Amino acid sequence: GQQVMQIPQYQHVQEGEDFTTYCNSSTTLSNIQWYKQRPGGHPVFLIQLVKSGEVKKQKRLTFQFGEAKKNSSLHITATQTTDVGTYFCAGHPRGGSGTYKYIFGTGTRLKVLA
Amino acid sequence: GAGVSQSPSNKVTEKGKDVELRCDPISGHTALYWYRQSLGQGLEFLIYFQGNSAPDKSGLPSDRFSAERTGGSVSTLTIQRTQQEDSAVYLCASSLNGGQNRQYFGAGTRLSVL
């Protein structure tokens, strides 16, 4: 079946270090969304990427969508303690069943050490 | 309401009992999703409703799981004859009209099956 894998599963960084999580889909995606889930909280939307090779920035966060629309990455520059949480990508397979089912990635749990 | 509302927030039940989980989406949102999240894991897609279209039930893990959406608004997820492996957080999300729109998540219902 369709799968979306993320690596790494866990990442511990010192405050101020950079962080990157990678998302890989087994099928081509029409678009990809990124969400952040704080400990004990629910997922909150960060951004959506639609175009092949698209790059979007939100302050210290940079999101990329691969040329083949099968992978994506989220890079955080100079992490802060407020960045702690689990980051999920969610992809909609291209040519899907006609419904907008999203397949969530396995998530990357980020811990930032002060 | 201002956001997606789920009830109850916590549910403890005995193995073999039926449970109903409720989701009130954001007013005007035609798309509604149910996901299941086991402890420390990613989000598992269960079912997707879009307007008056037939729901995408492809994620329901067994015939003990069912969901309804009445009047295009409130949704109920029913689990019959609960098993211990059903213990998880059940998250509901809504979006404006599905497709490439962001999903807004509720706080979830934490289900514990003893």
The 8-class DSSP code of residue A81 comes to G
The pLDDT value recorded for residue A95 is 65
Q: According to the model, what pLDDT value does residue A53 have?
A: 97
Q: Is A66 exposed, middle or buried (0-12, 13-18, 19+ CB in 10 A)?
A: buried
pLDDT exceeds cutoff 70 at B27:
yes
| Cβ atoms within 10 Å of A14's Cβ, excluding its own | 9
Any B CB within 8 A of A48 CB: yes
* Distance separating alpha carbons of residues B27 and A96, to the nearest angstrom: 27
What per-residue confidence (pLDDT) applies to A88?
97
Distance CA A24, CA A62 (A): 17
- Interface A–B counts its CB contacts (< 8 A) at 61
Q: What would the two tokens of residue A90 be?
A: 């969610």
Stretch A33-55: mean pLDDT, rounded? 96
CA-based nearest residue in chain A for residue B47: A101
pLDDT at A94 over 90: no
Using beta carbons and an 8 Å cutoff, which residues of B are at the interface with A? 31, 33, 35, 40-45, 48, 50, 53, 56, 58-59, 91, 93, 98-100, 102-108
Q: What is the C-alpha R_g of chain A?
A: 14
Token pair in block for residue B83 = 């098993």
The pair of three-digit structure tokens given for residue B41, joined into one six-digit string: 């894991």
CB A111 within 8 A of CB A84: yes
HSE-CB at B44 with a 13 A cutoff on CA atoms is 15
CB–CB contact A102 B45 (8 Å) = yes
What pLDDT is stored for residue B34 in this prediction?
97
The answer to whether residue A18 scores a pLDDT higher than 80 is yes
Cβ-based contacts of A30 with chain B (< 8 Å): 100
Closest chain B residue by Cα to residue A39: B40
A96 pLDDT tier (thresholds 50, 70, 90)? low
Please state the rounded mean pLDDT for residues B4-19. 97
Quick check: A18 and A78 in contact, CB under 8 A?
yes
CB contact under 8 A, A101 and B53: no
Using the Cβ of A69 and the Cβ atoms of chain B, whether some distance falls under 8 Å is answered with: no
Residue carrying the six token digits 């995606």: A29
Spatial CA neighbour of B108 closest among B19, B21, B17, B2? B21
CB half-sphere exposure, A98, CA atoms < 13 A? 4
Whether residue B8 has a cis bond before it, omega within 30° of 0: yes
Query: In Å, how far is A43's CA from the nearest CA of chain B?
Result: 6
Among B24, B1, B19, B31, which residue's Cα sits nearest to residue B88?
B19
* Rounded Cα distance, A102 and A80, in Å: 29
Question: Which of A45, A97, A100 minimises the CB distance to B99?
Answer: A100
H helix runs in chain A, sequence order? none
